[in-house]
Copies of this chain bind each other. A is one copy, B any other.
Amino acid sequence: MIDDLVVRQADVFRNKMGIEVLTDHRAEGIDRVGRVVTGKGPQGVFAIPYDHLLVATGATPIMPRQPGWDRPGVMVLKSLDDGRRIKAFLASRPVRSVVIVGMGYIGMEMAEALRAQDIAVAMVKPRPALLPWLASELVETVSATLEKAGVAIHTGFDVAQIVDDGDRLQVMAAAGASLTADMVLVAVGVRPNSDLAAAAGLALGPDRSIAIDAQTRTSDPAIRAAGDCADAFHAVTGQRTWIPLALRANRTGWAAADDVCGKPVTLPAVVGSAVFKVFELGVARTGLTAKEAADAGFEPATVTIHTASRAHAHPGASRIQVHLVGDKGSGRLLGAQMVGREGVAHRINTAAAALHAQMTVEQFSQMDMAYAPPYGPAWDPLLVAANQLIKTL
Give A contacts to B, CB under 8 Å: 4-5, 7, 105, 235, 245-248, 250-251, 267-277, 282, 284-286, 312-313, 343, 345-350, 352-354, 356-357, 359, 363-364, 366-372, 374-376, 378-380, 383
How many Å lie between the Cα of A5 and that of B312 in the bound state? 7
Q: Closest chain B residue to A373 by CB distance?
A: B277
B346 contacts A367, CB within 8 Å?
no
B368 contacts A282, CB within 8 Å?
no
Given contacts A272-B368, A285-B370, A350-B353, 5 further A-B contacts (CB under 8 A): A247-B380, A275-B371, A275-B375, A346-B346, A346-B347
The winner among A343, A346, A374 for most chain B CB atoms within 10 A is A346
The winner among A348, A350, A368 for most chain B CB atoms within 10 A is A368
Q: Closest chain B residue to A109 by CB distance?
A: B372
Q: Which B residues are in CB contact (< 8 Å) with A346?
A: 343, 345-347, 350, 375-376
Query: Which one of B245, B357, B364, B375 lies within 8 Å of A371 (CB-CB)?
Result: B245
B312 contacts A370, CB within 8 Å?
no
- A-B interface, 7 closest residue pairs, ranked by CB to CB distance from nearest: A357-B357, A268-B366, A353-B353, A345-B375, A275-B370, A346-B346, A273-B370
10 pairs of residues in contact across A and B, judged by CB atoms under 8 Å = A247-B369, A247-B371, A247-B378, A267-B366, A268-B363, A271-B368, A274-B372, A352-B368, A353-B354, A353-B364
How many Å lie between the Cα of A277 and that of B383 in the bound state? 22
Q: Which B residues are in CB contact (< 8 Å) with A353?
A: 350, 353-354, 357, 359, 364, 367
B246 contacts A378, CB within 8 Å?
yes
Q: Smallest CB–CB gap between A366 and chain B, Å?
A: 4
Number of identical protomers: 2
State whether A268 and B368 are in contact (beta carbons under 8 Å apart), knowing that A354-B357, A375-B275 are contacts in the complex. yes
A372 contacts B275, CB within 8 Å?
yes
The winner among A105, A359, A369 for most chain B CB atoms within 10 A is A369
Query: Which one of B267, B268, B276 lies within 8 Å of A367 (CB-CB)?
Result: B268
A349 contacts B378, CB within 8 Å?
no
A369 contacts B352, CB within 8 Å?
yes
Q: Which B residues are in CB contact (< 8 Å) with A313?
A: 4-5
Q: Which B residues are in CB contact (< 8 Å) with A359?
A: 353, 356-357
A352 contacts B367, CB within 8 Å?
yes
State whether A235 and B374 are in contact (beta carbons under 8 Å apart), knowing that A346-B346, A349-B347 are contacts in the complex. no
Q: Closest chain B residue to A273 by CB distance?
A: B370
How many Å lie between the Cα of A38 and that of B235 in the bound state? 57
How many Å lie between the Cα of A368 and that of B357 in the bound state? 12
A284 contacts B370, CB within 8 Å?
yes
How many Å lie between the Cα of A128 and that of B235 in the bound state? 47
How many Å lie between the Cα of A169 and that of B247 in the bound state? 57
Q: Closest chain B residue to A375 by CB distance?
A: B345
Q: Closest chain B residue to A2 by CB distance?
A: B313
How many Å lie between the Cα of A194 and that of B368 in the bound state? 24
Q: Closest chain B residue to A348 by CB distance?
A: B370
Q: Closest chain B residue to A366 by CB distance?
A: B268
State whether A356 and B348 are in contact (beta carbons under 8 Å apart), knowing that A7-B312, A378-B247 are contacts in the complex. no
How many Å lie between the Cα of A282 and that of B271 in the bound state? 28
Q: Which B residues are in CB contact (< 8 Å) with A383?
A: 247
Q: Which B residues are in CB contact (< 8 Å) with A357?
A: 353-354, 356-357, 359
Query: Which one of B269, B272, B368, B375 lies within 8 Å of A277 (CB-CB)?
Result: B375
Q: Smallest CB–CB gap between A80 and chain B, Å?
A: 12
